[in-house]
Amino acid sequence: MTCLDGATAPVARGPAASRTPGRPWAPPVTATPTPGPQDVRVGPLTLHGLRALSGGDQGAHGVHNSDGWHYLIGTAVSGTDAVTVTIGAEQRARAGLEFGGDEGLTPAPAVTFHGCPGTQTSYLGAFFVAGDGRACVPLDIRVGDGAPQRVVISFFSGRCPA
């Protein structure tokens, strides 16, 4: 991806980045331009609407297919620090990140986002949860070379332990 000032911000990629375009199962999502109460924010990273997935109508937020549930999420990075989101080891067998743009690859255990200088850089991708799509999924979020911060996200599992 090329930033407005001509700099290059690499596309979000994981070790096995998965599909973004051409996802027939992806529900429409509109990302909120500024963080709100349903968003997860760690440093320069905002995961729009992720807290809204703790309960309610699962079908309104994701799509089920033979391998599990896919929850489309808008993501934004402010500034130029790289931000890496990693699924906690205890849920990697069930959950993954689907950002990248390559059709047909499996969900990745980690994705690194890069921002453009002086603006907010947006990405569209999905979280994947196998089986019934219900789980408490820990995320380790690292900004640059800093220590990771753990956030536990409920995917239609109610309140999760921190």
Q: Please give the pLDDT value at position 162.
A: 74
Interacting residues of 89 by C-beta distance below 8 A, sequence separation 6+: none
**Which has the closest alpha carbon to 15: 78, 90, 85, 88?**
85
Q: What is the pLDDT of residue 29?
A: 44
Contacts of 27 (CB under 8 A, 6+ apart): 60, 61, 62, 63, 72
**What per-residue confidence (pLDDT) applies to 100?**
77
Looking only at the bridges linking them, the beta strands covering 95-98 and 83-87 are: unpaired
Antiparallel, parallel or unpaired: β 40-42 and 45-48: antiparallel
CA 20 to CA 130: how far, in whole Å?
Answer: 18
Domain segments of the chain as ranges: 1-26+35-78+91-162
Decide if pLDDT at 40 tops 60: yes
Tens-place pLDDT, residues 111-161: 999 999 988 999 999 999 999 999 999 999 999 999 999 999 999 999 998
pTM: 0.80
